[in-house]
Structure 1
Amino acid sequence: MKKMLVLSLVFSLAAAVYADVNFDQGVNTSEIINAPHNDYYIPTPVPGRFGRYTRDCARFTFGPSDNDIMSEKVWLRSQEYVQECHTYYVPGPNGQQIPHQNCYERPGMSWNQQAQINIKARKLWPWERETFEVCLEGPWMDIYKYEAAYKYTTRKIGNYDPMFELTPQYKVAMNPDLAGLEIGTFSYDKNTKKYTFKVNDKWAKEYAGEKVYIKVELKKSISNWFDSSKGEKEFTFDVADSYEMVFGEEDLVKPQANSDDTYRNEKLFDTKGMYLKWGFKRLGKISTDKYMDKGDTQVIQTK
């Protein structure tokens, strides 16, 4: 009898403890899926405003002068374009709201200013030209060096319609004048089988005491085919009014690539003549040693 009372009391307590759990009613899984979870949280974008500015530039070129140079004033204009975005929401796959943005540009503010450059007195060689650009982008105006013969210090005078004052500090070598060396004559002597190439130097007086390097490449002009190279030769001279180069094909450094064209049909690929591809460099302190490509001479006959 006592055992029966104990068992009855245990089952009664168990029933009391688990009375709130009903396994038959099921679990609402949608509540769990739709519950906020940090790993899948999508923050709402804040409506933004972003801008860009058009860039307007003017180029100024200056030649030699013994005095200060004041450029003309040039108008520059910059336009702001504002990007505005608006957020809207669309239903997601699980019922949540997914943010999307619709963005567009519209004109904003605009700026109009005048630009001017003042260069203090400096010495340039007759062939040298300096070029600077002044650009307006939004409310900001700046100056940029394109080609300069001096290292300059720059002072911006005025915030609106400014003037840029350039003061030379020390000379900087510029590239030589491409037109400084010009063809005199190019000829061929059938008896000696030698070519003679003469070049005139326009700036011999200015470059006195320096040297000049000239490279020639002898090329065969071929009808209906690519021109072939017979070889190259280099010359170095003390600067003078003119330079004369005499050479034969045996004096040339032959190209590494095979340029033998003797197998071609002479009627279809006949030789129109010979010409030089040439260029030069200035060797000294006045100019840089950049190689200046002068292109091709006229075609001459050798037969």
Structure 2
Amino acid sequence: MSEVKSIMNKVILAAVVSFGLLAGANAQMDFNQGVSVDQFISQANNQDLVIPRPIAGFSRYTRDCARFSFGPSDAALESEKVWLRSTEYIQECHTQYVQQCHTVMVPGPNGTQVPTQQCHSVPVQNCYERPGQSWSQTGQIKVEARKLFPWERESFEVCLEGPWMSLYINEAGYKYTARRVGDYNTVYELAPQYKVAMKADENGLNYGSFSYADGKYTFVVNDKWAKEYAGEKVAIKIDLYKDNAFFFDGYKGSKEFTFDVAEGYTMTFTEKDLEQPAVEENNDFRGAKKYYLKWGFKRVGAISKDNFMKKDKTPVIEK
């Protein structure tokens, strides 16, 4: 009987121990249910003010250009190879709220006014640029054989902006077709189609002489390109001024002369031949009567554009 009782006590003790271990295990499992360790760490690290992520704005690209100039030549021309580089810049913005406060007067006890602060949050946007991608390529131009006049010079520009390379014509003596060859090492091949007028040479006409005799002024101009412009015309405009040493120079009038192109042009005129100013100026001061011309010219024909080119004033002469 005593042995049976001893065995029963051991069984009960074992059951109690097993139940205790099982309860402890169940308690540990319940503690972990529904709890994320990563979330707990994240919450611990973000107890301070949360910084908003930057908002990407627009992008821009730097522009790198090379200019090429070509003059007259009977053979094809080829420019040097030039490296061009471009960088992308991305704008990013942060919006933060800044507290702004100001003092206002509010009703106080016994009909008084007391100061108090009123505050509110104002959004402030801070933007900056950061570099993004970058590109680099070589640019080059080849021009097929064509004929230019001695004073003519063509100008082209190759630009890299982001990943895009472009060709620009600044001044050209021909209508060209362009063919692009290559991507990383880009060559623009230009083929002339037909001639177009360019600006005339400003130094094509030059001062010869200016004089006064027998009641008439005589002005002589020389033409450097008479042979090249044979068969065309030139228009020369003059403005006569009286030189006053201590006052404003007096404007006397203007006249335009048109000539067939030649090696020289002689203009003879009196003050009565000039187109008079709308308002006559009283500039007959005492002293020597000295005069000079301001002048310019334009080509009239198909070879050059008819843009007017101003020249320097002539030396002063006495009347």
Unaligned runs of 5+ in 2: 1-51, 102-117
Q: CA deviation at 1:75?
A: 2.1
CA contact (8 A) 2:69 2:155 kept: yes
Partner of 1:261: 283
Q: CA deviation at 1:96?
A: 9.6
**Larger Rg computed on CA atoms:** 2
Question: Does the residue aligned with 2:317 lie in a helix, a strand or coil?
Answer: coil
Equivalent residue in structure 2 for 1:232, among 225, 245, 254 = 254
Q: Structure 2 matches for 1:6-45, cutoff 5 A? A: none
Partner of 1:31: none
Q: Are 1:203 and 2:211 matched, yes or no?
A: no
Q: Are 1:85 and 2:85 matched, yes or no?
A: no
CA contact (8 A) 2:288 2:318 kept: no
Q: Structure 2 matches for 1:75-154, cutoff 5 A? A: 75-89=83-97, 100-154=124-178
Distance 1:82 1:276 in 2: 58
Distance 1:232 1:75 in 2: 53
Task: Name the aligned partner's letter for residue 251 of structure 1.
Answer: D
Distance 2:137 2:281 in 1: 60
Q: Are 1:298 and 2:315 matched, yes or no?
A: yes
Could you list the per-position Cα deviations for residues 21-70 of structure 1 after superposition, in whole angstroms to 9, with x for gaps in the alignment?
xxxxxxxxxxxxxxxxxxxxxxx998224321111211111111111110
Distance 1:272 1:193 in 2: 13
Question: Does the residue aligned with 1:162 lie in a helix, a strand or coil?
Answer: strand
Q: Name whichever structure is richer in helix by fraction.
A: 2
CA contact (8 A) 1:122 1:168 kept: yes
Distance 1:161 1:257 in 2: 64
Equivalent residue in structure 1 for 2:291, among 255, 274, 281 = 274
Could you list the per-position Cα deviations for residues 82-124 of structure 1 after superposition, in whole angstroms to 9, with x for gaps in the alignment?
2112233457999998654321112222222221111111111
- Per mean C-alpha deviation after superposition, the further-off stretch among 55-64 and 74-83 is 74-83
Distance 1:96 1:256 in 2: 68
Partner of 1:287: 304
Distance 2:242 2:65 in 1: 46
Question: Does the residue aligned with 1:250 lie in a helix, a strand or coil?
Answer: helix
CA contact (8 A) 1:85 1:103 kept: yes
Task: Name the aligned partner's letter for residue 269 of structure 2.
Answer: F
Question: Does the residue aligned with 1:298 lie in a helix, a strand or coil?
Answer: coil
CA contact (8 A) 1:223 1:272 kept: no
- Matched residues, number: 252
Distance 2:288 2:251 in 1: 13
